[in-house]
Amino acid sequence: MNFRFVRDLSAHLAHSRNGSVVELVPELCPPEMKADLTVNAFKLAKALKSAPMPLAEEIRAFLAGHADVAGVECIKAFVNVRLKPEALFRDSVGDAAALLDGRFPEAKRRRVLVEFSAPNTNKPQHLGHVRNNTIGMATAALLRAAGHDVVPVNLINDRGIHICKSMLAYQRFGNGATPASTGMKGDHFVGDYYVKYDAEFRRQFAELKIARPELADKSSDELFLDVEIGRAAQEMLLKWEQGDAEIRKLWETMNGWVIAGFNDTYARMGVKFDRVYLESQTYMLGKDIIQDGLARGVFTKREDGAVVIDLEAEKLGSKVVLRSDGTSVYITQDIGTTLMKQNELKPDRQIWVVGDEQIFHFKVLFAILQKLGFAWAKDCHHMAYGMVNLPSGKMKSREGTVVDADDLFDEMEKLARAACAERAGSDSVENLDERAKVIGMGALKFMLLKVNPKTTMMFDPNASIQFEGDTGPYVQYAYARIASMLRKAGADALAAPVDWTVLGADEEKALALCLAGYGNALRGAADELDPSRLAGYLLDVARAFSRFYQACPVLVAPTPELRRARLELSARARDILKAGLAALTIGTLESM
């Protein structure tokens, strides 16, 4: 988006307004207006603190005399500009390298740490994790495409009472089985023992209530230590913390199984981290900074011995940061790991991709870091995303309604494979496996990424995932069509110089103007931490290309010059589709 008439208009306005410079971004003109771009003088007037109508007239008068402008008209304070076709194509898609470079200027590039996924090693990942992984990965890729230096990080929650639960159930019911002996994926194998623990706990809990009616109105949390297997889990945690050799060995073995399983899941999704932290190695962090803060009066010691911080001024109440027995709470660890990441990786900015139910927690965390006096605390950001609900409501593991990640991937691939086969008819399909993988995962990721991360979204497993309409495969298909066309055109089809003056059809102009918006879409998505913006933009590009392709013959264009120019336009669309999908971690196929 680098239009000469816009630059000249900016200069003109700056001059006529005594040098006040205003950023001027033209909008696409609505189709029925029969113009190409619109300068919105309402908005501009606000920035320039002047009246809209005279400003619109001034802009109109200036543009009427501009060499690139074929026509200009004011409707209210919208100045609709019709460009001479050669100027339109020259300024929108004429410079291939500039078109494809969506990076921020160097001064705006930062080192950004993105933490996401953060799974517990007691059960396999489900659709909720898939949304987290997808958003996290896409955000990292997006920021990187926009020129930032990105460090994707995972922090695996590999210790704690929930881990001990599956360990305990394995000790009691496992009979020495292993993922290998059962042919199961390690995370699923361990997850089954977590379920077994839960079933046993509930059995004992019910028994206890029958044996002791006076406990009838107590919750399972309250009676946790009164239930035998609950107490046993607690004791195991204690032993783990004391470094008990046998427990540690079991823990290492089982975590190894789970993490191997996770790595398979990540590999299928294309998820990669620069750094993976384990909570077992970081959970003791944070205590020293609490002591330090206590000495500096940031925290106070309550009568009962607990260390607390007063955040009334921030309307966040007060928060315990060390228990009265001196042990850490969750937020203590978070303070510690945040500090560690900051010192180790030296980012300009830290981002956490964590569900929106933890908004309050992060507000408290950031407020504490501010009070501790860390200047970088203001650059900490919780990227809160919404839950994925099913038609039946929330996913509940207890009720068996969770959508398992690996099952979902299998299902996607199966559907994609069937779709490929169906479309191929009697023809055989080359590398069907790869196609099914790229299309299936593309459909799933795109489905998750096209909705705003903040939105609580609905997923209907029975409706399954679509390959038509506003979908990943629709965008991938536009790419594959262009690739196929350029293959047919031959290797040197793009060698000859392009004469943009031969273009001018509505569909050609619409496509070129759409393509010109790539940089803005990418940077906008990066600035707002919103991959859905880019996804929406890519749908626009794919749609604009499909319309163009329907209306304008390319390989069989009437003249060589027209063929050449349309091939070039198509190639630009191809490049943007590929780069854009890559910035969402979605792959493309040369044929599908």
Partner RNA sequence: GCGCCCGUAGCUCAGCUGGAUAGAGCGUCUGGCUUCGAACCAGAAGGCCGGGGGUUCGAACCCCUCCGGGCGCGCCA
Which phi and psi (to 5°) does residue 458 adopt? -110, 135
- The residues, any chain, with a CB within 8 Å of residue 24's CB and separated by 6 or more, are 6, 9, 10, 13, 39, 44
Query: Which stretch in 138-146, 182-190, 260-268, 546-554 sits in contact with RNA by CB under 7 A?
Result: 546-554
Q: Report the C-alpha gap between 517 and 494 in whole angstroms.
A: 23
Residues numbered 323 to 352 that lie near RNA (CB under 7 A) are 323-325, 329-330
Q: How far is the CB of 485 from RNA (least distance, A)?
A: 5
Name which of 151 and 447 has its Cβ closer to RNA.
447
Name which of 185 and 479 has its Cβ closer to RNA.
479
CA proximity to 185, closest of 95, 103, 125: 125
Site size toward RNA, by CB under 7 A: 92
Interacting residue with RNA among 20, 42, 181, 291 (CB under 7 A)? 42
β-strand pairing of 349-355 with 318-322: unpaired
Query: Rule CB under 7 A: is residue 29 a binding residue for RNA?
Result: yes
Name which of 181 and 324 has its Cβ closer to RNA.
324
Interacting residue with RNA among 206, 359, 434, 464 (CB under 7 A)? 359
Which phi and psi (to 5°) does residue 451 adopt? -95, 145
Q: Is-contact 114 139, C-beta < 8 A?
A: yes
Q: How far is the CB of 161 from RNA (least distance, A)?
A: 7
Interacting residue with RNA among 412, 416, 516, 586 (CB under 7 A)? 416
Query: Rule CB under 7 A: is residue 78 a binding residue for RNA?
Result: yes
Interacting residue with RNA among 106, 217, 312, 468 (CB under 7 A)? 468
Residues numbered 178 to 197 that lie near RNA (CB under 7 A) are none
Interacting residue with RNA among 4, 14, 17, 38 (CB under 7 A)? 38
Name which of 20 and 456 has its Cβ closer to RNA.
456
Query: Rule CB under 7 A: is residue 552 a binding residue for RNA?
Result: yes
Q: Report the C-alpha gap between 155 and 344 in whole angstroms.
A: 14
Q: Report the C-alpha gap between 107 and 487 in whole angstroms.
A: 40
Name which of 554 and 583 has its Cβ closer to RNA.
554
Name which of 112 and 151 has its Cβ closer to RNA.
112
β-strand pairing of 78-83 with 69-75: antiparallel
Interacting residue with RNA among 30, 54, 373, 560 (CB under 7 A)? 30
Residues numbered 161 to 180 that lie near RNA (CB under 7 A) are 161
Number of H helices, E strands in the chain: 22, 14
Query: Rule CB under 7 A: is residue 16 a binding residue for RNA?
Result: no
Query: Rule CB under 7 A: is residue 152 a binding residue for RNA?
Result: no
One DSSP character per residue, 82-136 reads: EE-HHHHHHHHHS-HHHHH--PPPGGG--EEEEE----BTTS--BHHHHHHHHHH
Interacting residue with RNA among 71, 160, 270, 461 (CB under 7 A)? 160
Query: Rule CB under 7 A: is residue 51 a binding residue for RNA?
Result: no
Q: How far is the CB of 190 from RNA (least distance, A)?
A: 17
CA proximity to 582, closest of 144, 154, 136: 144
CA proximity to 346, closest of 151, 147, 139: 151
Q: What angle do CA 118, 120, 123 make, to 5 degrees?
A: 130
Name which of 312 and 492 has its Cβ closer to RNA.
312
One DSSP character per residue, 174-224 reads: -TT--HHHHT--HHHHHHHHHHHHHHHHHHHHHHHHHH-GGGTT--TTTTG
Buried b (16+ CB within 10 A) or exposed e, 41-65: beebbeebeeebeebbebbbebbee
β-strand pairing of 78-83 with 37-40: antiparallel
Residues numbered 241 to 300 that lie near RNA (CB under 7 A) are none
Q: How far is the CB of 464 from RNA (least distance, A)?
A: 11
Name which of 174 and 286 has its Cβ closer to RNA.
286
Interacting residue with RNA among 127, 138, 502, 592 (CB under 7 A)? 592
Residues numbered 116 to 145 that lie near RNA (CB under 7 A) are 120
Name which of 151 and 307 has its Cβ closer to RNA.
307
Name which of 405 and 451 has its Cβ closer to RNA.
451
Q: Compose the 472-511 pattern: x for residues touching RNA by CB under 7 A, - for all others.
A: -xx--x--xx-xxx--x-----------------------
One DSSP character per residue, 287-326 reads: HHHHHHHHHTTSSEE-TTS-EEEE-GGGT--EEEEE-TTS
Name which of 200 and 279 has its Cβ closer to RNA.
279
Q: Report the C-alpha gap between 516 and 251 in whole angstroms.
A: 54
Q: Is-contact 257 187, C-beta < 8 A?
A: yes
Name which of 281 and 484 has its Cβ closer to RNA.
484
Query: Rule CB under 7 A: is residue 556 a binding residue for RNA?
Result: yes
Q: Is-contact 91 2, C-beta < 8 A?
A: yes
Residues numbered 444 to 463 that lie near RNA (CB under 7 A) are 450-452, 454-458
Query: Which stretch in 44-52, 126-134, 189-197, 249-257 sits in contact with RNA by CB under 7 A?
Result: 44-52
Q: How far is the CB of 476 from RNA (least distance, A)?
A: 7
Q: Report the C-alpha gap between 195 and 236 in whole angstroms.
A: 18
Q: Is-contact 150 112, C-beta < 8 A?
A: yes
Interacting residue with RNA among 52, 102, 336, 587 (CB under 7 A)? 52
Helix, strand, coil content of the chain in percent (nearest 5) = 55, 10, 30
One DSSP character per residue, 17-66 reads: TTT------PEEPPGGG--SEEEEHHHHHHHHTS-HHHHHHHHHHHHHT-
Q: How far is the CB of 194 from RNA (least distance, A)?
A: 14
Residues numbered 296 to 325 that lie near RNA (CB under 7 A) are 302, 304-306, 315, 317, 319-320, 323-325
Query: Rule CB under 7 A: is residue 22 a binding residue for RNA?
Result: no
Name which of 342 and 471 has its Cβ closer to RNA.
471
Residues numbered 209 to 228 that lie near RNA (CB under 7 A) are 221
CB atoms within 10 A of CB 213: 7
Interacting residue with RNA among 165, 196, 533, 574 (CB under 7 A)? 533
Interacting residue with RNA among 2, 314, 547, 582 (CB under 7 A)? 547
Which phi and psi (to 5°) does residue 27 adopt? -105, 155
Query: Rule CB under 7 A: is residue 470 a binding residue for RNA?
Result: yes
Rg for the chain (alpha carbons), in Å?
Answer: 29
Query: Rule CB under 7 A: is residue 3 a binding residue for RNA?
Result: no
Name which of 330 and 348 has its Cβ closer to RNA.
330
